[in-house]
């Protein structure tokens, strides 16, 4: 507010504008109820819904637990992101987590955000990420053990869309040569024949006796709801994709024939042998369990991205690429030949009772592991090389004429974490905790300080004030504009131990001698070692004063185009927090910023806060209910006017571009009125630089 006269409270009321009879404008402002954008001339033309809180963000209560108990008392790190961090998500908070200690925090979050991304980092640096919805301003989530990323896995199709024909409870003999057919309900098929370009999706449960695929272009799909048992051998001559549960009887082989392809995204329980043949292609993104032998024949191409269990022998005569875990309960034989090779990638593991190395095993990327529990044998054509360790837990028995070189080493010390794809793992994680606070150095922002562990950054955000309270302002919301960031430091117990803040005074468009301070949710005695600000006396809670007269801070207002400008003033503030104050109770947000009118005739008691915030101990409570103030201290409905619930301050969860001098915020931001009139339901991002949201002529 730009008033050049210094007045007492009794005189200040002359600045309040006479309210126009704008019932027609109020009606117009309610047009949003039928989906229209509200267009009004100024703030006081907006019909503010009863109880509207003027908040562009809200507190979200977060509680995260884990079932991961692999590391005893060493703590896991959990981080909360605003979105997928690989796509620009911002880290909002972090802290300690264990199987018997939850991570809890209160995070002030923009109203535009409806979900969080959680990343748990174990002491061995294995990670898992989960996306969670925000429900009723809360997030409650449990993170399980991290798993190997399942490459290429998708949810898959279903039988609700894309079906040319749907058959419920199919039985007898079924034959299809073209189109897409969906089979649902109870499946009891004697002979299923596919030819031509037929696509068959199975969404039901039951059994199939014989499968006949007469074309390499036919496609059989088992959806995520399928649960099918094959009572005789299953020959695959076309394309088969599994997202559900497949099994075969104990006399039934699974044979992927020449030019056939099998992609497993679900579970396959093979009752007898699993036989890739000729130029077949197999990709396992889920779990395959073979009751007897797996023989990968010459010309076949097998990629294992997750878990493969073989209860008898494993014989590789083709190309095999292992990105996950293989367990062989008998003997694994790696045969030689120009087209035969066994490859391991990025921490994969071949775990076998015995091994016969007659060909080449090569490791790529991150070191992988070959672990032998029984006998190791190999002929002179055998070669283990590349990024992998060879471990025979009892020592190599022989006869052994194979070679281990080219980067491969004979060692059992390689750490492989347990995961959803690798249930065995290997070794113990090399965990270092220099300061002994229970947080591994790799997860500790302060590895040499037992009293600190994590940085929690908040901001940048902005608070913008009108300074005429309890009289009405002009709603350009540039009388005092302060942007700020916080770093809240917590320890291994997720208690706040230090606060580091930066405040930037950007505009001083009011004519009063306004001061600026922030009240924090701790007692005054808990704030120690304050630097960069003054810990105000006479307060029960900790109140830090950055300045007492903005006119002594900035010569120019920074609100008038063409006028000289002042360099924004930066205040670097820090203090320690004693006692045990949890991150959940302290929170991450704006806290309670306020200004006061220190001009002669007014004074320290003229505090102006955000709507819904309470005054400090030094406020003059006699001012509430005077002028245009409509505060109810008892209910906490504070700092809104009695003539339409208009505010004297607003908080924005970004570095806000404030209006020019005398430009009502409603004329600077074209979606502002609709946001207010809709009770915050529409245009929650009204303050952004989205096309059509701004009138640049009215923004400084």
For residue range 495-545, what is the model confidence (pLDDT) as tens digits?
A: 999 999 999 999 999 989 999 999 999 999 999 999 999 999 999 999 999
Q: How far is CA 641 from CA 91, 630, 675, in A?
A: 36, 5, 18
The pLDDT of residue 154: 61
Burial of 21 (0-12, 13-18, 19+ CB in 10 A): exposed
| Cα 53 from Cα 247, distance rounded (Å) | 58
| Cα 468 from Cα 197, distance rounded (Å) | 76
Residue-by-residue DSSP string for 234-257: EEESSEEEESSEEEE-TT--EEE-
Do residues 340 and 316 touch, judged by C-beta distance below 8 A? yes
CB atoms within 10 A of CB 600: 10
Residue of 516, 512, 502, 513 lying closest to 544 (CA atoms):
516
Return the SS3 of 618: coil
Burial of 50 (0-12, 13-18, 19+ CB in 10 A): exposed
CB neighbours of 35 closer than 8 A, spacing ≥ 6?
none
Q: How far is CA 408 from CA 362, 396, 404, in A?
A: 8, 15, 6
Its pTM stands at 0.68
The pLDDT of residue 40: 86
Low-confidence ranges of the chain (pLDDT < 50): 1-34, 146-153
């Amino acid at each position: 507010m730009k008033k050049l006269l210094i007045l007492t409270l009794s005189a200040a009321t002359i600045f309040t504008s006479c309210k126009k009879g704008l019932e027609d404008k109020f009606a117009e402002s309610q047009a949003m109820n039928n989906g229209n954008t509200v267009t009004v001339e100024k703030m006081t033309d907006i019909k503010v819904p009863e109880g509207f809180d003027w908040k562009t963000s809200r507190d979200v209560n977060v509680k995260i637990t884990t079932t991961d108990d692999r590391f005893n008392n060493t703590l896991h790190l959990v981080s909360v992101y605003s979105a997928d961090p690989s796509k620009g998500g911002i880290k909002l908070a972090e802290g300690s987590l264990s199987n018997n200690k939850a991570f809890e925090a209160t995070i002030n979050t923009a109203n535009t955000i409806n979900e969080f991304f959680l990343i748990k980092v174990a002491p061995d640096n294995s990670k898992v990420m989960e996306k969670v919805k925000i429900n009723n301003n809360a997030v409650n989530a449990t993170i399980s053990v991290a798993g190997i990323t399942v490459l290429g896995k998708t949810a898959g199709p279903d039988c609700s869309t894309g079906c040319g024909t749907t058959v419920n409870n199919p039985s007898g003999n079924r034959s299809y040569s073209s189109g897409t057919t969906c089979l649902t309900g109870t499946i009891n098929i004697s002979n299923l024949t596919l030819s031509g370009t037929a696509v068959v999706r199975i969404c039901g449960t039951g059994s199939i006796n014989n499968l006949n695929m007469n074309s390499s272009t036919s496609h059989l799909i088992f959806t995520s709801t399928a649960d099918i048992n094959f009572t005789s051998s299953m020959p695959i001559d076309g394309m088969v994709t599994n997202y559900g549960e497949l099994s075969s009887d104990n006399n039934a082989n699974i044979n992927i024939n020449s030019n056939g392809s099998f992609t497993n995204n679900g579970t396959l329980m093979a009752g007898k042998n699993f036989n890739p043949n000729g130029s077949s292609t197999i990709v396992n993104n889920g779990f395959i369990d073979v009751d007897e032998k797996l023989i990968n024949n010459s010309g076949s191409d097998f990629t294992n991205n997750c878990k493969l269990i073989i209860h008898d022998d494993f014989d590789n005569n083709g190309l095999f690429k292992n990105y996950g875990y293989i367990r062989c309960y008998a003997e694994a034989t790696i045969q030689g030949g120009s087209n035969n090779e066994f490859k391991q990638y990025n921490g994969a593991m071949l775990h076998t009772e015995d091994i016969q190395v007659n060909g080449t095993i090569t490791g790529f990327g991150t070191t992988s592991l070959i672990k032998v529990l029984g006998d190791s044998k190999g002929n002179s054509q055998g070669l283990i090389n590349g990024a992998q360790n060879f471990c025979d837990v009892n020592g190599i028995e022989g006869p052994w004429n194979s070679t281990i070189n080219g980067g491969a080493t004979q060692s059992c010390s390689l750490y492989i974490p347990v995961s959803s794809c690798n249930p065995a793992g290997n070794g113990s994680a090399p965990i270092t905790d220099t300061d002994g606070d229970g947080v591994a150095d790799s997860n500790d922002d302060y590895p040499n300080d037992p009293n600190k562990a994590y940085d929690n950054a908040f901001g940048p955000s902005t608070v913008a004030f009108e300074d005429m309270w309890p009289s009405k302002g002009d709603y350009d919301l540039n009388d005092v504009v302060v942007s700020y960031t916080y770093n809240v430091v917590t320890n291994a117990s997720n208690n706040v131990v230090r606060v580091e803040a930066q405040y930037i005074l950007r505009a001083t468009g009011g004519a009063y001698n306004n001061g600026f301070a922030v009240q924090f949710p701790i007692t005054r005695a808990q704030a120690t070692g304050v630097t960069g600000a003054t810990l105000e006396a006479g307060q029960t809670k900790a109140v830090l004063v950055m300045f007492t007269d903005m006119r002594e801070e900035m010569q120019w207002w920074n609100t008038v185009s063409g006028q000289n400008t002042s360099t924004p003033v930066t205040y670097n503030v820090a203090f320690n927090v004693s006692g045990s104050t949890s991150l959940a109770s302290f929170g991450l947000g704006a806290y309670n910023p306020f200004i006061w009118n220190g001009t002669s005739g007014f004074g320290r008691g003229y505090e102006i806060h955000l709507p819904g915030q309470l005054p400090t101990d030094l406020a003059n409570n006699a001012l509430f209910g005077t002028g245009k103030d409509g505060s109810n201290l008892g209910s906490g409905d504070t700092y809104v006017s009695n003539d339409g619930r208009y505010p004297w301050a607003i908080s924005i969860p970004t570095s806000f571009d404030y209006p020019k001098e005398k430009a009502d915020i409603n004329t600077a931001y074209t979606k502002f009125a609709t946001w207010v009139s809709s009770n915050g339901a529409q245009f929650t991002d009204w303050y952004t630089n989205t096309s059509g949201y701004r009138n640049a002529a009215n923004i400084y």
